[in-house]
Amino acid sequence: MREREPPPVQRFADRVLCHRTQGYMVCDSTSPTGELPMFTRAIVSTDLGPTSEATISSAAALGALGVRYAVLVYVMDLDRAPSAADDEMFARQISSLESAGIRVSVETPLGYAPHAIVDMAERHAAGLVVMGTRGQGLFHAGFSGSVSSDVIRLSPVPVLLTPYAGVTTADEGTYARRGVLSSVLVPTDFSLAADRTFDLICALAPAGIERLSIVHVIQSTFEALRGGTECTARDRLSALATRARDAGVPEVDTEVVVGDPTGVVAQLAAAGVHSMIALAPRCLDAIDQQFGSVTNAVIQESTIPLLLTTARRGT
């Protein structure tokens, strides 16, 4: 049976109604054979601004991760009426996703953006939330942090942040040109959260991860360095490398680095060697320096996508 064609793009408000009344919502929980069911359906958050262009320009990357259905979510602001420019931006974003072979539906909820985005992820049984970032870090929008930081705290599924800095034109980013799975960096502190991230990367191996770099940073203090800490870390990295190869990753390298974890990982993120970084941020309930200190630094330095597993993943 032929797939239903998406409804024609009309004015902003009419198009939303059209998507809803014609039943063009992707709510099934199955995926074709050979696809990655965890990421088959994604929530793509848009604010119709430059960071959204970064997200949409990575449509090819989303396809590489197994995304076949996208719910394009724009959280409405009652104090701002949609404009003709918004219509044009929305139409371009829908077209870009569809050109990558991704079916698109639209949601325009009201409310606090992070809560609305997470609600859409749960309602549509999405396996991934995709957002753009300006590279300003997790804290730049008042006490509660940025929209991105709050979504990371609340999301039940992994969050993919696509940096605006990685986009050079409307349809070409550095990571889109290279292939998002060509060289994946996974920093690890051997915590349970980091292990969940590694499990996720191993599950993505069949999608075509070509090279995987696993890095552990030892804090450069006397206490941390004594007692064979580095040797133990190398053994644990070797075990992770074996898991990755068994999962189907053809090229795996490991490295133990002595230094400041935040600085080292941020430098690796900015080096231009890798195509994606996978991290497990620390998401505490209070504003605390531990909240994503490494993640925060990576967001500020990286021009490639950042895949974040969340505390609520799998619960």
Highest mean pLDDT among 31-45, 82-96, 131-145, 220-234 belongs to: 82-96
Say if residue 62 is in the same domain as residue 200.
no
Instruction: Tell me how many domains the chain contains.
Output: 2
Tell me: do 85 and 223 sit in the same domain. no
**239 part of a folded domain:** yes
* pTM: predicted TM-score of the whole model, two decimal places: 0.79
Residue 314 within a domain: no
Asked, for residue 191, whether it belongs to a domain, the answer is yes
More confident call, 185 vs 137 = 185
Q: Considering 168, 195, 229, which residue would you say is the last residue of a domain? A: 168
The one-letter amino acid code at 20 reads R
pLDDT over 90 for what percent of the chain?
34
- Regarding whether 162 and 220 lie in a shared domain, the answer is no
| pLDDT tens digits, 144-161 | 347 877 888 889 999 998
Ramachandran region of residue 128, left (φ > 0), alpha (ψ -120 to 50) or beta? Answer: beta
Query: Any bridge partners for residue 211, and if so which?
Result: 251
Do 184 and 296 lie in a common domain?
yes
Per-residue confidence (pLDDT) for residue 275, from 0 to 100: 92
Question: Is residue 144 domain-shared with residue 267, that is, in the same domain?
Answer: no
By 3-state DSSP, what share of the chain in percent is helix, strand and coil, each rounded to 5? Answer: 40, 20, 40
Element (H, E) at 72: strand 69-73
Confidence of residue 79 (pLDDT cuts 50, 70, 90): confident
* Contact status, residue 108 vs residue 143, Cβ threshold 8 Å: no
Specify whether 187 is located in the same domain as 227: yes
Q: Please check whether residue 312 lies inside any domain of the structure.
A: no
User: What distance, in Å, lies between the first and last C-alpha atoms of the chain?
Assistant: 35
Domain hosting 94: range is 12-168
**Two tokens, residue 124:** 């549509």
Cβ burial 1-11 (10 Å sphere, 16+ → b, else e): eeeeebbebee
Is a pLDDT exceeding 60 seen at residue 285?
no
pLDDT of residue 134: 64
Are 129 and 265 members of one domain?
no
User: Does residue 5 belong to any structural domain of this protein?
Assistant: no
Residue 233, pLDDT score:
92
Do 111 and 188 lie in one domain? The reply is: no
More confident of the two residues 151 and 227: 151
Q: What pLDDT sits at residue 37? A: 53
pLDDT at 237 over 90: yes
277-306 mean pLDDT: 70
- Checking if the pLDDT of 42 tops 90, the result is yes
Summarize the confidence of residues 60-72 as an average pLDDT.
Answer: 88
Q: Decide if pLDDT at 272 tops 50.
A: yes
Among the candidates 112, 143, 168, a domain finishes at 168
pLDDT at 299: 78
Together in a domain, 28 and 77 = yes
CA dist 302 and 164 (Å) reads: 10
Position with higher pLDDT, 19 vs 293: 293
- For residue 248, the domain's CATH number is 3.40.50.620
Residues written for the chain: 315
Instruction: Report if residue 146 sits inside a domain.
Output: yes
Pair (259, 292) in one structural domain: yes
Of 168, 187, 215, the position where a domain reaches its end is: 168
Mean pLDDT of 217-246: 86
Question: Quick one: angle between helices 12-21 and 84-99, nearest 10?
Answer: 50
Tokens of 172: 């070409």
Q: What are the backbone dihedrals phi and psi of residue 169, each rounded to the nearest 5 degrees, phi first? A: -140, 180
Residue 1 in this model has a pLDDT that exceeds 70: no
Residue 4 placed within a domain: no
Q: Judge if 161 and 183 occupy the same domain.
A: no
Q: Please give the pLDDT value at position 68.
A: 92
The reported pLDDT for the residue numbered 34 is 46
Q: Is residue 7 part of a domain?
A: no
If asked whether residues 207 and 273 sit together in one domain, one would say yes
